[in-house]
Amino acid sequence: MLNFIFIRKLAVFFMMICPLAVYAEEQAASKPEAEEAVKPESFPPKDSPAAAIIRGETAFKRYCILCHGVNADGKGRAAKNYDPKPANLRASDKNTIYKTMIVTKGGAAMGRSAFMPQWSEELTKEQITDVVTYLNSIAEHPPKD
Amino acid sequence: MSKFFVLLLGVLASYSFAADFPVEQKNKAFTASSLKVKVGDTVTFKNVDAFNHNIFSLSDAKSFDLGSYPQGQSRSVTMDKPGTVEVECSIHPDMKMTIEVAK
């Protein structure tokens, strides 16, 4: 009789434990996938051109689209206020050094529109390089330098 | 001759009613987030930060760009139409303020 009670208790115990074990197994199986989605290896290395393009696009879309537009075609929402109109950066034939200088020093220093701000006061050198790298990546005729 | 003086007084009276509202650009923000002015009033923006600021608006009531200017300098704009004028800085996208212009 005592054995029967013990076996019944054991059976109840296993019935309770089994669903928990299955749940734990499912969680363990799904965990690697979740971790894989945010694995640092899935992002380009910090110093790679791919990373510079991502950072440059972010900076461009924060600081430049007002005038140059989200497509960098010179059709930003403020473009109507300016004469000369903001440059179509996709169609630009300027090289990397020129682009870096005009972003850094502003339009007036380069004999262009005085409405182009001197971005060295707001952006770091790395951010300016990133923005230029992004612009080169979307240019219709990427500079060869 | 008396008509001339009446006209002159009228012009002077209208000028005396126009006010100037100073706003500072400080710590990458406007010192006033909103302002109520009347048509004919002027708003003067003074840059007290150690770097350049810009002032522009694309609003129907007043569309302008006063350019970029360094610390210590000011730019003014006179409101000539009633409506809402949203003022921004093209260098610092988070800088925004609203001016309500009444008749």
Cβ–Cβ gap B91/A114 under 8 Å: no
Q: Is the pLDDT of residue A74 over 80?
A: yes
- Decide which of A10 and A57 is more confident: A57
Range A45-49 average pLDDT:
92
For CA atoms B67, B93, A142, A125, the dihedral sign is positive
Angle at B57 between CA A106 and CA A121, to 5 degrees: 25
What's the token pair of residue A2?
A: 């005592």
Cross-chain Cβ contact A81/B67 below 8 Å: no
In the prediction, which pLDDT does A81 show? Answer: 87
Q: Kindly indicate the confidence band of residue B17, based on its pLDDT and cuts at 50, 70 and 90.
A: confident
Residues 14-53 of B with CB under 8 A from A: 51-52
pLDDT tens for residues B72-93? 999 999 999 999 999 999 999 9
The ipTM value here is: 0.74
Q: CB distance B58–A81 less than 8 Å?
A: yes
- What letter does residue A80 receive in the DSSP assignment? G
Q: Helix (H, G, I), strand (E, B), or coil: what is residue B72?
A: coil
Q: pTM for this structure? A: 0.73
Asked if residue B49 lies in contact with residue B91, where contact means CB atoms within 8 angstroms, the answer is: no
**Which residue in A has a C-alpha nearest to residue B49's C-alpha?**
A121
What pLDDT score does A43 carry?
83
For chain A, the residues whose C-beta falls within 8 A of a C-beta of chain B are 62-63, 66-67, 77-78, 80-82, 106, 114-115, 117-119, 121-122
Q: Rounded to whole angstroms, how far apart are CA atoms B100 and A81?
A: 21
A 10 A CB-CB count for B1 gives 5
Mean pLDDT of chain A: 84
Q: pLDDT digit string (tens) for A75-91?
A: 999 999 899 999 999 99
Q: What is the pLDDT of residue A144?
A: 80
Which chain B residues have a beta carbon less than 8 Å from that of A124?
Answer: none
Q: How confident is the model at residue B9 (pLDDT cuts 50, 70, 90)?
A: low
Q: How far apart are CA A117 and CA A9, in angstroms?
A: 79
Question: Is the CB of residue B68 less than 8 Å away from at least one CB of chain A?
Answer: yes
Examine the pLDDT at A21 and tell me if it is beyond 80.
Answer: no
Of all residues in chain B, the one with the smallest CA distance to A121 is: B51
- Residue A127 near residue A108, CB atoms below 8 Å: no
- Give the lowest-confidence range in A6-15, A125-134, B71-80, B88-97: A6-15
Check if the beta carbon of residue B65 is closer than 8 Å to that of residue B54: yes
Q: Is the pLDDT score of B10 beyond 70?
A: no
pLDDT(A143) > 70: yes
Where are the alpha helices (H) located in A1-145, listed in sequence order?
Answer: 2-37, 49-63, 65-68, 96-105, 125-138
Bond before A86 cis per omega within 30 degrees: no
> What was the pLDDT predicted at A68?
98
Give the nearest partner residue to B68 out of A78, A81, A117, using CB atoms: A117
Q: Which two tokens stand for residue A10?
A: 């054991």
